[in-house]
Structure 1
């Protein structure tokens, strides 16, 4: 079993475990506990990025030597290409689905996640400041885009079938709320809420989250979310 997937508790690296479960591939799982909020030394020793996810493939069938990757999208692309026979990643042969897949796959970490991080960094700042106003306005636009797309498909971001675009963005819509409790309006964001419930019922997602966070873990799929316990008594 050359493929090893490293997960940091309550983090975007859950994406990679979920991907592996959706693809039904074999892997070795390693859990890393936050210390106390940020990544521990064990992750920093694996890759200069010092964060999760991290993937080790030793030996890689691509290079016949060890490959170590960080970055969610890079790891997802690698696993799908090397071990997934291209599943969950539409191509130009799939028509319009391909363009939608590309846009939403890259939207997750290219646009939406940075907005969440900026919003978290300005907590407690003057609400009348231009930075706070612009960031909140951008979040609103993002959520409007997301809800409109899910209303259009009635299923997943690329179309009728789950793709890696969903695996990328779902964590940002759910788990990341435990660090920055974004609230969803039950009417304005009803398609987001329906989507989160739909995805959270997938057996592969449920199995992945049990592996990552334990049997009692409850994903943040309701209109409101609370901070994770590790965040309640600490300041970044």
Structure 2
């Protein structure tokens, strides 16, 4: 079993486990517990970035030797190209689906996830400050873009079929809300909410989330969510 996939609880690395399950890959799974909020030493010892995900391919068909990768997008690209026969990544021969895929695939971590991180970093700040106001406006713009696109396709971001663009963006739309309890409007974001329900019913997604977070974990797909336990202030 050449592949080892490292996941840290409640983190973006859930994407990689989900991708592996969608592709039907054989892999060894390693779970890393936060210490207490940030990445533990076990992850820092694996990769200079010191966080999850991390992929180890002990005998890479690409190099003939061991490959260690960080970064969600890089790992997705590698797994799809090297072990997934190109599945879940449209190419130019797929026409407009390809261009939609490219944009949403890079939007996920290039624009969308950073907006959530800015919100998290400004928690407790004056809500009328220009930074907070502009960041919340950007989030609203992004959610509207996603909702409009899903209204167009009635299915997934690139088109009728699931792609790695959906796998990349879903963490921000779901689990990330355990750190920042963003609410969705049941009317304004109805296509987004329908999309989250549709994705949550995929067997590979269900299996991946149980692997990553345990049998009792409920994906955050509703209009309203609560902070995850590690973000709650202890009660006296």
TM over 0.5: yes
2:223 maps to 1:226: no
Match of 2:45 in 1: 45
- Cα distance, 1:61 vs. partner? 1.0
Match of 2:99 in 1: 99
2:112 maps to 1:112: yes
Q: Secondary structure at the match of 2:104?
A: helix
Counterpart mapping for 1:202-213 below 5 A: 202-213=202-213
For 2:62 and 2:230, how far apart are their aligned partners in 1? 39
Match of 1:71 in 2: 71
2:137 maps to 1:147: no
For 1:130 and 1:24, how far apart are their aligned partners in 2? 46
Q: Secondary structure at the match of 2:25?
A: coil
- Cα distance, 1:128 vs. partner? 1.1
- Cα distance, 1:233 vs. partner? 1.8
For 2:129 and 2:179, how far apart are their aligned partners in 1? 22
For 1:120 and 1:16, how far apart are their aligned partners in 2? 23
Match of 2:6 in 1: 6
TM-superposition CA deviations, 1:126-167 (whole Å, max 9, x none): 111110110000001001000000000000000000000000
Counterpart mapping for 1:51-66 below 5 A: 51-66=51-66
- How many residues are matched? 234
Any runs of at least 4 consecutive aligned residues in structure 1 with deviations exceeding 6 A, and if so which? none
For 1:31 and 1:101, how far apart are their aligned partners in 2? 30
- Cα distance, 1:3 vs. partner? 0.4
For 1:228 and 1:130, how far apart are their aligned partners in 2? 28
Q: Secondary structure at the match of 2:137?
A: helix
For 1:161 and 1:102, how far apart are their aligned partners in 2? 14
Q: Secondary structure at the match of 1:195?
A: helix
TM-superposition CA deviations, 1:109-136 (whole Å, max 9, x none): 0000000000111111011111011000
- Cα distance, 1:18 vs. partner? 0.3
Match of 1:192 in 2: 192
Q: Secondary structure at the match of 2:4?
A: strand
Match of 2:170 in 1: 170
For 1:199 and 1:74, how far apart are their aligned partners in 2? 23
Where structure 2 has 5 or more consecutive residues not aligned to the other structure, the ranges are: none
- Cα distance, 1:59 vs. partner? 1.3
For 2:59 and 2:87, how far apart are their aligned partners in 1? 22
Where structure 1 has 5 or more consecutive residues not aligned to the other structure, the ranges are: none
Match of 2:135 in 1: 135
- Cα distance, 1:40 vs. partner? 0.2
TM-score (normalizing by structure 1) = 0.98
For 2:135 and 2:18, how far apart are their aligned partners in 1? 30
